Amino acid sequence: MSDENNKEVKGLKKKEKLLIVAVIVVAVVVMISGTVINAFIPAGKVIITVGNKEYETVSLKENKRIVIENEYGENIIIIKDEQVFMERADCPNKTCVKKGKITKTGQSIVCLPHRLTVTISD
């Protein structure tokens, strides 16, 4: 009993540590595989989805300003010099704008309130 208590004072139990390690291992494995995807599959196009439907697909090589206005709100997506970013959004949290520029295959910008995703694909 006292042994058990001592362990708790020190920190986490063995199984709890195991859970944390397992979660971190999964995270690292997914991160590495994501990086491998980024490195080996060249980025080619930008897929924009609204709702769960494809809205528009644009080549990453193009320079384009895409304005999306719908019942959810307004988003302005910029594709320039093979970089993609959200210039403006009238959503409440602006997480998509703060995400900044994306350049690699598999990366995406999400605007949850407007049900919008911008993903770089091969």
Q: Which stretch binds other proteins (CB under 8 A): 59-67, 79-87, 101-109?
A: 101-109
Residue-by-residue DSSP string for 22-65: HHHHHHHHHHHHHHHHHHHS---EEEEEETTEEEEEEETTS-EE
Sites for other proteins among residues 78-97 (CB under 8 A): 92-95
Integer Cα distance of 56 and 8 in angstroms: 54
Q: Which of 39, 42, 51, 67 binds other proteins (CB under 8 A)?
A: 51
Q: Which of 2, 5, 6, 53 binds other proteins (CB under 8 A)?
A: 53
24 forms part of the interface with other proteins (CB under 8 A): yes
Q: Which stretch binds other proteins (CB under 8 A): 62-70, 74-82, 112-120?
A: 112-120
